[in-house]
Amino acid sequence: MKKFIFGLILFVLYIVPTSNWAQTEKVVIEDFIEQHQGFEENDEGEIIPINIKEINKKIRFFVEEKYPNVEYTRNIIWDSYETFISPFDKFHFHTFICQIKVKELQRLKYLEVTYNPLDGKVNSDFEWYEEQEEFYPKKEIEDASEARN
């Protein structure tokens, strides 16, 4: 029993902290520099990321997977790039606005998504709110639901 406890302590203290699955990849300063140098300006004077076509593919796939009520994504427009650096945390992401055609609705809708250049993942905290026929941040929907109850 003592050997088992010793082995467990050894595992927790030495093996878990050095394994990849116990750590998340951190953004380094070079990642920020690479993103800033990757911007280009098109003929209309709009600033866009240099790998916009690949990002657009990922965004379209994400929207199709997460929102089954979406018929198609029409336009994807780069909105902003945000960085955060503190002594404790570093992150950065791009924000895009997508023009969305929702099934059974005539008017096009807009959806905000984020793209993390570190891991290449797309995400959105917006959910479809059926009663208003709009996309709203999940937090706003939860707050409205709590206010009604």
Chain segment 46-71, per-residue pLDDT in tens: 888 888 899 999 999 999 999 999 99
**4 falls within a domain:** no
pTM listed for this prediction? 0.75
**127 falls within a domain:** yes
Q: Tens digit of pLDDT per residue, the chain (149 long)? A: 655 555 555 444 444 444 334 345 678 878 878 887 888 888 888 888 888 899 999 999 999 999 999 999 989 999 999 988 888 888 889 999 999 999 999 999 999 999 999 899 999 999 998 888 999 998 877 777 677 76
The average confidence (pLDDT) of the chain is 82
**132 falls within a domain:** yes
Count up the domains in the chain and report the number: 1
Distance (Å, rounded) from C-alpha 35 to C-alpha 49? Answer: 8
Q: What is the pLDDT of residue 17?
A: 45
> How many CB atoms lie under 10 A from the CB of residue 13?
9
Distance (Å, rounded) from C-alpha 118 to C-alpha 31? Answer: 8
**21 falls within a domain:** no
Distance (Å, rounded) from C-alpha 135 to C-alpha 137? Answer: 7
Q: What is the pLDDT of residue 71?
A: 94
Structural domain boundaries enclosing 117: 28-148
**6 falls within a domain:** no
Q: Would you mind telling me the total number of residues written for the chain in this entry?
A: 149
**119 falls within a domain:** yes
**11 falls within a domain:** no
Q: What is the pLDDT of residue 46?
A: 82
Q: What percent of the chain has pLDDT over 90?
A: 46
